[in-house]
Structure 1
């Protein structure tokens, strides 16, 4: 019997490399149908039922191929550079599909026995040939279509780079706002394309590298905004320029890495390979030791000692570290010595067995030597794991209060450059500890994707540390600059966020070490249907897991951005104690705590905490509507109509949030959906507030100007017109009516998180 055209389930492409899940999943049904046709028994009794079944499968293949080819031909018409290749592949697919349909047209085979006609029964090789051609041509069509997606990503990245260069060269706030608008739109498109690609990649290492690059872009988005604003506000400040240049350079490297992954590019030299970790080295060493039972490695048995010495040399990263305790160092050295002794005994025992008559049988001494060597090297691995994980846990505990960051902010606020310099040295030392710890975690991580994540964490700490210092120096030089303070806050938050990511990484490494990985899929975030009971019970307070936090992280970014809008608008108010300003500021603080929840941080720990906070926000929003109602009585008819109309929009949004927060749900999936809805409604409310604040400010000033000769109402204190806007153009509406809040709303659509 002829074998199927592509027998391996994981190799449907017959020579063409399949890099994405979508292509692979599209081919699975076709492979299944063709395998059914080819693998029928040669002596199968040709009953009418059997003949009809075979013909039905053949017809289904023919129809499916016809539809598929029609789509491929349409793609060819739209993409001239692929027209010839795609057209040829579609032609071959259609011809193969027709051949299979003819070979499976066997219903009249019994009646036309005397007619010389080929069928699947009479010409098995013809079916195999047609099946091979069909799979090859269909796979080629899919791979060519996938090339279009790659082209879209590379084109999008090129547009982002051009705009990034323009942003780097701007010299005025007005120019920055204009270009940042275009940059936001282009980054949104790039984010969606790369997010879909990341989830579609088959290679786990590529998915991990893509996630790391997109994480850099996501975190650098806010940094680019604040660093650029700071540099524009203080153009002669060298530390501000260094700070900004670092952000732009990091974004360029991340963009380049995405393209390397998507296109398999090899610019210049070969890409930097992953260092061989101790974990992988030990796994390979153990495999070779245990394979001695089958005499697979008879000749190079002596090389085991050489391989072990290479492993021992790698453990120097642990033993030579100034942060490894004396006891841990001694334990590692003793285990290395014990493993070395057991390996030498194993090699000697193996040599003796090879010289005996029963060389093909494993002696008791040989079996004991294999077991002792395997046990020794396993104990070494366990000790190295304990050293790395223990140090990481200790560092996370020490830095949980973020005391050094708070001290830097205080020193900057005081304008104390000397204190900033002292704290910078302390932060640099902490950074070196974290960098070295990430390197040790990489050694014992257990999987290549986790190794990549460790390397990403190491690089992030290495880069963010100096950026925090330059931001703190800028703030100390300009202690009254709100923009410089905001910039320092953003970089400190990135450091804190990376510490949180390191805690998640530590948990995953422990899960791998203890065999608790299960069958969790990285590209699925929500619980699977049917997992949770639908019976109504008392609502329980639950914590979101890492995957769910990753899913709503995009919404968290959106909340932070819109809250930044509100804060920026409030900074323009001359009277910060105004009733309206205080109410909006209070709402912004509530939303800030909800945004922190999406990152697993802050005072809100469970979903119930979040829902209570959402109810509080809705109540504060309705109170704001009441204040606006009082104020509207002082306005002219036309202005009053405008105020009431906008106020009604806000009231509706608050009522929707209130209803959502109070709606009872059961099950983890429903609870997560409720969390998502609450955050969406919250974003809607704050977007309305941010867009209306300039209007309220303007109307208040108009009202006070018109009644300047009369006593002003207590709720609306007298204010003066603001001077012409400069950097404030970023925080409100400029002459073109397009403020940064619109830009940030575009940027908020960024999905640089593994959340799908």
Structure 2
């Protein structure tokens, strides 16, 4: 055992950091008495074993071949055993809480439904009581996320748990805020829509929590981690290669950055879905459910969602080339939607609504062009490809954001002026030599020749 490892200022500092994390388990109101006592007992044992080891090593440090002393070796093994026992007890406590999480999440979803109903009828007293219960449910889930982050066996899962905890902490309480706003203004359609958006977002957040819990528990039992980042195959004949893809590890900063980008993408798709749902829920006979604007906007939302899944190592997009190809389709669909809405704008009478629509619409070609330029940028190496992945997601998010505003304004114009919407025109499937097809499919991805080199998901 080398002296630099056994320095007194190194090991006690590491022990202090470990014990500080164990306090999250012992201080948690949801940790059972049995688990708390077991963790405290193992923590005390670890401190005693480590103190014994440091004292023993200090006594023999000046002697030649001190590191080969049997007593030192035995003390080291005792410390290792104590660490393993403490780790096992921490994992057991987290697992126990995770197993109870299903009840907590179901209760949270039920409370959201109650909050929605009470806000609509302005039942302030019940809303206050239910909101407090909902906040307690959120706190419980946050507690589990924090403990799972401590026992996660990989950086990827630790970061996923961290961002899931952050998202829930930030967006969960927004359900309460939106409900109180609706209760104060029960006739406001905007307040009602706002509450629906945050209620849907909470459901998505709970789904993420459930996924993280499952992944952490599976990996703690020795199962392989689900999220794997792979390099791209080099171009060969017909864009194929017989060489297997190689795993690539992202550092912590890269993982956090791509997780943040993915979250922003998901939030934008939520907004787009909320806007397109308005069309289908409208009682106005002039606003047809199968109009071209809604269909193309939903198609773009689905593409953006698959890019969000890519940042989590899920979905049909397996490599960075798949992501770049999807972004190309996304830009093409935005161009088609732009042309449809441009024609629609001719039917809108002059005034504030038309001016707002055209202001948003005129931004679309610029964002489309920026995304296309980013996709075509040639990269070599992990760092450059990672930067390109992040840039592509950011540009897709920016384009999605302006499209969402355009679709919102279109709906307002169609409703206000009772404009008959353009119907969907069937676009035949294209060949590789022809225009890009309307929607990405796994089969099309396999046929595409890969023209980029680099690394990254999945």
Unaligned residue ranges in structure 1 (runs of 5+): 1-292, 536-545, 611-666, 699-723
Per-residue deviation, 1:439 = 3.6
So what's the TM-score if we normalise by structure 2?
0.56
Of the three residues 71, 77, 81, the one matched with 1:375 is: 81
Quick check: 1:462 aligned with 2:169? yes
Quick check: 1:594 aligned with 2:302? yes
Per-residue deviation, 1:472 = 0.8
Quick check: 1:750 aligned with 2:398? yes
Q: Higher RCO, 1 or 2 (CA under 8 Å, sep at least 6)?
A: 2
* Residues in 2 aligned to 1:481 and 1:450: alpha-carbon distance in whole angstroms: 41
Unaligned residue ranges in structure 2 (runs of 5+): 242-254, 368-394, 402-455
* Residues in 1 aligned to 2:399 and 2:85: alpha-carbon distance in whole angstroms: 42
Per-residue deviation, 1:493 = 4.2
Structure 1 residue matching 2:68: 3-state secondary structure:
coil
Q: In the alignment, which residue of structure 1 is the partner of 2:134?
A: 427
Q: In the alignment, which residue of structure 2 is the partner of 1:323?
A: 30
Per-residue deviation, 1:466 = 3.4
Quick check: 1:440 aligned with 2:147? yes
CA gap of 1:344–1:391, structure 2 versus 1, over 3 A, is same
Residues 34-433 of structure 1: pairs in structure 2 closer than 5 A: 293-296=1-4, 300=8, 308=15, 311-312=18-19, 314-347=21-54, 349-350=56-57, 353=60, 360=66, 362-388=68-94, 391-392=97-98, 394-395=100-101, 398-399=104-105, 402-433=109-140
* Residues in 1 aligned to 2:30 and 2:218: alpha-carbon distance in whole angstroms: 25
Deviations 1:285-338 (A, max 9, x none): xxxxxxxx344577849x967864674354222012111123322332232233
Residues 619-638 of structure 1: pairs in structure 2 closer than 5 A: none
Report how many residues are paired. 355
Quick check: 1:733 aligned with 2:319? no
Contact 1:555–1:680 (CA<8 Å) still a contact in 2?
no
Per-residue deviation, 1:474 = 1.1
Deviations 1:67-92 (A, max 9, x none): xxxxxxxxxxxxxxxxxxxxxxxxxx
Q: In the alignment, which residue of structure 1 is the partner of 2:404?
A: none
Q: In the alignment, which residue of structure 2 is the partner of 1:485?
A: 192
CA gap of 1:586–1:334, structure 2 versus 1, over 3 A, is same
Contact 1:438–1:457 (CA<8 Å) still a contact in 2?
yes
CA gap of 1:520–1:336, structure 2 versus 1, over 3 A, is same
Greater Cα radius of gyration, structure 1 or 2: 1
Q: In the alignment, which residue of structure 2 is the partner of 1:576?
A: 284
Contact 2:364–2:399 (CA<8 Å) still a contact in 1?
no
Deviations 1:118-173 (A, max 9, x none): xxxxxxxxxxxxxxxxxxxxxxxxxxxxxxxxxxxxxxxxxxxxxxxxxxxxxxxx
Per-residue deviation, 1:670 = 7.5
Per-residue deviation, 1:581 = 1.9
* Residues in 2 aligned to 1:376 and 1:315: alpha-carbon distance in whole angstroms: 14
* Residues in 2 aligned to 1:569 and 1:697: alpha-carbon distance in whole angstroms: 17
Structure 2 residue matching 1:368: 3-state secondary structure:
helix
So what's the TM-score if we normalise by structure 1?
0.37
CA gap of 1:497–1:530, structure 2 versus 1, over 3 A, is farther
Q: In the alignment, which residue of structure 2 is the partner of 1:629?
A: none
**RMSD of equivalent CA atoms:** 5.5
Contact 1:562–1:683 (CA<8 Å) still a contact in 2?
no
Structure 2 residue matching 1:738: 3-state secondary structure:
helix
Contact 1:567–1:588 (CA<8 Å) still a contact in 2?
no
Q: In the alignment, which residue of structure 1 is the partner of 2:183?
A: 476
Per-residue deviation, 1:562 = 5.6
